């Protein structure tokens, strides 16, 4: 199993990079270094110059992989949702009962993200925090429509579509599967952030994973007409 798992890589649309970061040592250092730095100082303060210094390279070299820092962020987001897609497949294949399939899929999406040993070069916990804090900067931009056409949000949309299909397997008459799923995914991420920084916007209950409990309950109450 080890050798098998070791060969898995998450494919990211080549439209977001100039040169595949996976393919070289420098490329991998850029991605790993960017995850560290964006998690630490935030995307606004993150610059290619600082990253270059941190990984002992140069600004110009990083520009050979990504046209701009925005695209590097989009790359990270696409990788994250590609990874979630892979985890969804692992969690649901060979599970027969539709309700159980949906339950397992939701678990992947609403539970707190943990490190995945399959991809040693990526720190998924840090990446998850980046996805929570910085996604808005990618989605809510004046370039959305163009970037959507370029496939910048494909992976995320696929995840939503996949889980929406599972919802329909449980209740084929449910009218709002995409809305429910995107609400739950986005909501769970926000709640985890709120719990840490704006606790008045959430309900933290000690000893319980309130976020998981709440959203799991919400989905099944909503679709079980």
Partner DNA sequence: ACAAATATAATAGTAATACTATCACGTTGT
Partner DNA sequence: ACAACGTGATAGTATTACTATTATATTTGT
Distances 213 to 87, 105, 126, 192, 217 between C-alpha atoms, Å: 20, 14, 23, 13, 6
Nearest CA to 14 out of 65, 83, 49 is that of: 65
Let me know: does 223 contact 180? Beta carbons within 8 Å: yes
- Closest to a second copy by CB, 80 or 153: 153
Contact pattern for DNA over residues 37 through 56, marking x by CB under 7 A:
--------x-xxx------x
Contact pattern for a second copy over residues 184 through 213, marking x by CB under 8 A:
--xx--xx-xx--xx-xxxx-x----xx--
Among all chains, which residue has been given the structure tokens 């990984």?
Answer: 55
- Structure tokens given for 7: 């060969």
Site size toward a second copy (CB under 8 A) is 50
From 9-17, 58-66, 179-187, 207-215, span contacting DNA (CB under 7 A): 58-66
Residue 11 touches which of a second copy, DNA, none (CB < 5 to 8 A by kind)? none
Chain residues that interact with a second copy, rule: CB under 8 A: 41-42, 44-45, 132-137, 139-142, 144-145, 148, 153, 156-157, 160-161, 175-180, 182-183, 186-187, 190-191, 193-194, 197-198, 200-203, 205, 210-211, 214, 217-218, 221-222
């Amino acid at each position: 199993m080890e050798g098998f798992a070791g060969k898995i890589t998450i494919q990211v649309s080549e439209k977001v990079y100039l040169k595949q970061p996976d393919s070289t040592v420098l490329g991998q250092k850029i991605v790993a270094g960017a995850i560290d730095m964006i998690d630490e100082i935030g995307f606004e303060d993150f610059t290619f110059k600082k990253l270059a210094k941190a990984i002992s390279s140069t600004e110009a070299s990083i520009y050979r992989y990504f046209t701009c820092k925005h695209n590097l962020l989009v790359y990270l987001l696409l990788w994250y949702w590609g990874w979630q897609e892979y985890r969804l497949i692992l969690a649901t294949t060979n599970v027969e009962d539709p309700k159980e399939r949906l339950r397992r899929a939701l678990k992947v999406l609403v539970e707190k993200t943990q490190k995945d040993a399959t991809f040693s070069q990526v720190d998924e916990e840090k990446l998850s925090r980046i996805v929570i804090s910085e996604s808005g900067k990618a989605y809510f931009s004046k370039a959305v429509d163009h970037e959507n056409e370029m496939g910048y949000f494909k992976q995320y949309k696929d995840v939503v579509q996949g889980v929406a299909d599972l919802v329909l397997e449980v209740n084929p008459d449910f009218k709002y599967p995409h809305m429910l799923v995107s609400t739950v995914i986005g909501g769970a991420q926000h709640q985890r952030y709120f719990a840490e920084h704006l606790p008045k916007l959430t309900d933290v209950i000690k000893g319980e994973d309130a976020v998981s409990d709440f959203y799991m309950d919400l989905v099944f109450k909503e679709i079980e007409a």
